[in-house]
Structure 1
Amino acid sequence: MANPWAGEVDLVLDGQRRVLKLTLGALAELEVALETGSLVQLVERFEGSAFTARDVLLLLAAGLRGGGWDGTASDLANADIEGGPMAAARVAAELLARAFAMPGHPK
């Protein structure tokens, strides 16, 4: 079960509940994977509902690895996410918000 106070979010992936967390290493990995743009631009895209499926995929993959998963973005692209693309986007947005929330104030 995810701990929102620690910036964690749950996602059911291939029938198994996983915990996602954007650790410093996961954030650095995400910056590299984005290739262009910054994390600030990613946050702005989510705030403005202008994010892409690629943004969601990379964000979830980084968060899953921050939570201990050893898969790749390619593995995630072929996985079954409970709730489908809309749930994936919601979890990605929640994960991003929690990563940058003030301590003691989970989003």
Structure 2
Amino acid sequence: MVNPYAGEVEVTLNGVAHRAKLTLGALAELEGVLGEGSLVALAERFESGRFSGRDVLALIVAGLRGGGWTGRAEDLLTVEIGGGPVGAAQAAAQLLARAFALP
């Protein structure tokens, strides 16, 4: 079970629930992977609906790593993510929102 007040989001991979959270290290990795100048700019892309599949995948990977997962982005290319592409995009958006929400 995840704790949304701690910024956690549940991501299901092949039927197994995983905890995801954007830690500072995960956020720094995310900036590097996406080449975004700031996390605010990334959040704005999501809010305006201008995000790509690459953005969603990078957020999911960063969040899973922040939650303790030791996999790689390549591992998710053949995994069934709970809710499919829409579920993955929703989880990515929740990760961003919860990372910057005040407790």
TM range (shorter): over 0.9
Residue equivalent to 1:66: 66
Count, aligned residues: 103
TM-score normalised by length of structure 1: 0.92
Listed one character per residue, the Cα deviations across residues 43-84 of structure 1 (whole Å, up to 9, x for unaligned) are 000010111000000000000000000011111122110110
Q: Which amino acid aligns with 1:4?
A: P
Tell me the distance in 2 between the aligned counterparts of 1:64 and 1:87. Answer: 15
Q: Is the 8 Å Cα contact of residues 4 and 98 (structure 1) preserved in structure 2?
A: yes
Structure 2 unmatched runs, 5+: none
Q: Is the 8 Å Cα contact of residues 36 and 42 (structure 2) preserved in structure 1?
A: no
1:1-107 equivalences in 2 (<5 Å):
1-103=1-103
Shift of 1:38: 2.4
Q: Is the 8 Å Cα contact of residues 20 and 67 (structure 2) preserved in structure 1?
A: yes
Q: Secondary structure at the match of 2:49?
A: coil
Q: Is the 8 Å Cα contact of residues 20 and 65 (structure 1) preserved in structure 2?
A: yes
Structure 1 unmatched runs, 5+: none
Give aligned-pair identity as a percent: 62
Q: Which amino acid aligns with 1:27?
A: L
Shift of 1:87: 0.4
Q: Which amino acid aligns with 1:98?
A: R
